[in-house]
Structure 1
Amino acid sequence: MTVELLTTRDYEARTGETAEVQPKPKQNLTKETTKMLLHEELSRARIRDFHAESEEQRPWRRARAVRRWTRLARWAQNHADRHRTGD
């Protein structure tokens, strides 16, 4: 079986009919979307880096928060004791 390549011009020449041509989609001449996607991807990469860095610091932050709340609880206990004895 052989297949003959037939272009639109060949078809019109052989049949005498004009073939309906599909309109071409509009070309996007601006590079704006590509630039925007690049900036979005860079932004996402920075956010991923920020999250990874914050995950590394999480144990340190928790330890600091424990020390801070312990200090605050000790101060509150001392404050309550001082005012309780004053009555």
Structure 2
Amino acid sequence: MTVELLTTRDYEARTGETARVQPKPKQNKTQETTKMLLHEELSRARIREIHTAAETWRPWRHARAARRWSRLARWAETHAERHRIQH
């Protein structure tokens, strides 16, 4: 017994009629959507918590960055003076 593969295009070409496809009934995905929205809301809540925790550290980070840049500026100034004297 042999089976011949028959595509929709082959069927339409042989018979001259178009194959009608029955539309699938709509599935109710409210439960999946609710789960997805719950996970999204939980992740947004976690992100908000992270942002509020980061806000408390912001002044400390700005002060530390200012100290770091002032140290770098002092080093660059001494480095430039050293090279001006040698040349």
TM-score by length of 1: 0.66
Task: Give percent identity, aligned residues only.
Answer: 71
How is 1:66-77 mapped onto 2 (pairs within 5 angstroms)? 66-77=66-77
Unpaired segments of 5 or more residues in structure 1?
1-25
Alignment correspondent of 2:62: 62
Unpaired segments of 5 or more residues in structure 2?
1-25
Tell me how many residue pairs correspond in the alignment.
62
When residues 78 and 32 of structure 1 are mapped into structure 2, their CA distance, relative to the original with a 3 A threshold, is same
* Structure 1 residue 27: Cα displacement: 6.6
Q: Displaced runs of 4+ in structure 1, greater than 2 A?
A: none
Larger Rg: 1
TM-score by length of 2: 0.66
